Structure 1
């Protein structure tokens, strides 16, 4: 692999590590929001809160898997 491609790959891996750190910091408030929305949707029978809950959980799943897939492909 020539030097330019290798440097580009190293930069991408560094960016991925930064995203992973940021994601791990942001994940805790996301889970707190999920619990609040779940309790709110149970007690108030509000379907909008349930929809927001499913959207947040889905986005969390997608982000986590994209990071995992990219790391698998680059290593």
Structure 2
């Protein structure tokens, strides 16, 4: 799994900590959309996750916080 980590907050780190081996292997995080797409297109990655920049702020406001696979 590759993560497009836009938020870099405690909430996003806690979420990502739930994706553990052997079911998920985290192969990297970054803020560049193109990296995840390239890895998918090349077959080097099976799944990517996009954690938006306002993830923690939404949670703290009591609003839904969407994460996109």
Q: TM-score, normalising length from structure 2?
A: 0.28
User: Greater strand share, 1 or 2?
Assistant: 2
Greater helix proportion? 1
More relative contact order, 1 or 2 (CA 8 Å, 6+ apart): 2
Query: TM-score w.r.t. structure 1 length?
Result: 0.26
